[in-house]
Structure 1
Amino acid sequence: MTNGSNRILDEFAKLMTDAAGAAQGVRREVETAFQAQAERLIHSMDLVQREDFEALREIALKAREENAALTARVEALEAELSARTPQKRAAGDSKPASTARTKK
């Protein structure tokens, strides 16, 4: 009877090993299906990848810095131009002297 008992336990152990292997296979298939579904969902949401976002963020920051520098430069040039240009018109005169018509 000891031989029969060992044989039953061996068969039971073999059955459990096969069941564990099958469970791992099912688990892998479920993970694969879940991952594929998640990827489909992400693609349908029209999301960007992290690398693309970071690259565009750097471009935007650089453009903002350049814009600030150009704004400061324009303001400095306008100040220099207004300092160089003498005030030819009187305070109440709204038309330049060159465009005024004279009667004949």
Structure 2
Amino acid sequence: MQSENPFVADFVKMMNGAAGTLAGVGREARDNARERFREFLGDMDFVSREEFEAVKEMAATARGEIEDLKARIAKLEGKSGE
């Protein structure tokens, strides 16, 4: 029959508690770092992918319209070669 030493049992409980505490501190530090990084990125002037794609589409449409208008102006001015 083996008896449990109360000192060892208390020491093991204390180490388990310390390990849990350290894990909690690690999670809290990670979460704080993430939040700081998000704040840092939020202060910068980034646009979302959706906004970028919308502006890109608007620019392509505007370029097409400009080319059409150039052709119409050239035709009206008689520079189209006709």
TM-score relative to the length of structure 1: 0.55
| CA displacement 1:5-32 (0-9 Å, x = unmatched) | 6x936962x4454344323322221122
Please state whether the residue corresponding to 2:4 is helix, strand or coil. helix
- 1:56 is aligned to 55
The corresponding residue for 1:70 is 69
Name the larger-Rg structure.
1
Query: How do 1:36-55 residues align onto structure 2 when only pairs under 5 Å count?
Result: 36-55=35-54
Alignment match, 1:2 = 2
1: CA distance, partners of 2:25 / 2:75: 71
How many residue pairs end up in the alignment?
Answer: 82
* Residue 93 of structure 1: aligned partner: none
1:80-91 to structure 2, matched below 5 A, reads none
Which runs of 5 or more residues in structure 2 are unaligned? none
Residues 8 and 2 of structure 1, relative CA distance in 2, 3 Å threshold = farther
Alpha carbons of structure 1 residues 73 and 19: separation in structure 2 relative to 1, 3 Å: farther
Shift of 1:33: 0.9
**Structure 2 CA distance for partners of 1:2 and 1:57, relative to 1, 3 Å:** same
CA positional deviation for 1:34: 1.0
The amino acid across from 1:52 in the alignment is E
SS of residue paired to 2:47? coil
Letter in 2 for 1:21: G
Q: TM-score, normalised by structure 2?
A: 0.66
Higher relative contact order (CA 8 A, sep 6+): 2
